[in-house]
């Protein structure tokens, strides 16, 4: 089978390849650093690249530390629905919020920061967790004329999943590159994410399908 060939209408979206999500980070995704060299190679296949960056203020409402008596990975009811509580991570201007040092960003045309509103989390690259407040990414991509988006990054079962679902919701074709993502897999969340992305009409591929 011939490799899938990205066109000028395609954009690669690299999701949250930041130090706090890498092994040793505050919210480490198992094997997360293995995505970085593959993300660099993927960029050579695309004319257009966008990267997202988690960017929380201190004391963000999604942090367990902001809820006395609660522990990381518990769930609370936020005004916008259930919210998983996380360890403090990707706090603005801290080392953990920085991109992995080996990640090539010279070809990124946009770096979109998300999660900066203190009272609401933002998994998706397109919407805050209320699923109503836009980040502006859809408008940017639409105005640029992109039709198909390819996703890689961290974590499969949270920020990648929600971004893929919202890409479909916004009318884009969505492709997620499974071996260029890694999951937290919290209580079966990886299987749930895989099924949800399929149900949304997203396509799952491997990097080999792009000739890598």
Q: How confident is the model at residue 2 (pLDDT cuts 50, 70, 90)?
A: low
Known catalytic residue: 16? yes
Residue 119 has a pLDDT of 96
Q: Which of these is catalytic: 20, 114, 166, 181? A: 114
Decide if 77 is inside a domain: no
As a whole number, the mean pLDDT across the chain is: 96
Decide if 78 is inside a domain: no
Q: Which of these is catalytic: 10, 11, 16, 121? A: 16
Decide if 80 is inside a domain: no
CB 143 within 8 A of CB 169: no
Decide if 33 is inside a domain: yes
CA dihedral sign, ordered 14, 20, 21, 23: positive
Query: Looking at residues 168-177, what average pLDDT do you find?
Result: 98
Q: DSSP class of residue 186? A: -
Decide if 64 is inside a domain: no
Q: Which of these is catalytic: 20, 159, 166, 181? A: 159
Decide if 90 is inside a domain: yes
β-pairing verdict for 148-154 and 10-15: parallel
Decide if 73 is inside a domain: no
Closest by CA to 150, choosing from 53, 45, 18, is 45
Q: How far are the Cα atoms of 38, 59, 85, 137, 189 from residue 134, in angstroms, in the given order?
A: 29, 22, 22, 8, 24
Q: How far are the Cα atoms of 7, 9, 29, 107, 209 from residue 158, in angstroms, in the given order?
A: 27, 26, 11, 25, 24
Please state the domain count of the chain: 1
Task: Find all residues with CB under 8 Å of 188, minimum gap 6, and list them.
Answer: none
CATH of the domain at 164: 3.40.50.850
More confident residue, 4 or 72: 72
Boundaries of domain holding 41: 10-58+86-210
What is the tens place of the pLDDT at every residue in 52-89?
999 999 999 999 999 999 999 999 999 999 999 999 99
Decide if 165 is inside a domain: yes
């Amino acid at each position: 089978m011939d490799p899938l060939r990205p066109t000028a209408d395609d954009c690669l979206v690299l999701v949250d390849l930041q130090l706090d999500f890498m092994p040793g980070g505050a919210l480490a995704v198992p094997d997360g650093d293995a995505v970085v060299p593959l993300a660099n190679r993927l960029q050579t296949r695309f004319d257009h690249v966008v990267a997202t960056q988690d960017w929380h203020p201190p004391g963000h409402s999604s942090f367990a530390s902001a809820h006395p008596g609660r522990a990381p990975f518990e769930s609370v009811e936020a005004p916008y629905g259930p919210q998983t509580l996380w360890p403090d991570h990707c706090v603005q201007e801290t080392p953990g919020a920085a991109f992995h040092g080996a990640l090539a960003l010279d070809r990124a045309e946009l770096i979109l920061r998300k999660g900066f509103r203190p009272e609401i989390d933002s998994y998706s690259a397109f919407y805050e967790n209320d699923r109503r407040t836009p980040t502006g990414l859809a408008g940017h991509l639409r105005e640029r004329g992109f039709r198909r988006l390819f996703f890689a990054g961290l974590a499969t079962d949270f920020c990648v999943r929600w971004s893929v679902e919202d890409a479909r919701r916004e009318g884009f074709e969505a492709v997620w590159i499974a071996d260029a993502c890694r999951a937290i897999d919290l209580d079966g969340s990886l299987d749930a994410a895989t099924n949800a992305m399929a149900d949304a009409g997203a396509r799952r591929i491997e990097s080999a399908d792009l000739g890598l």
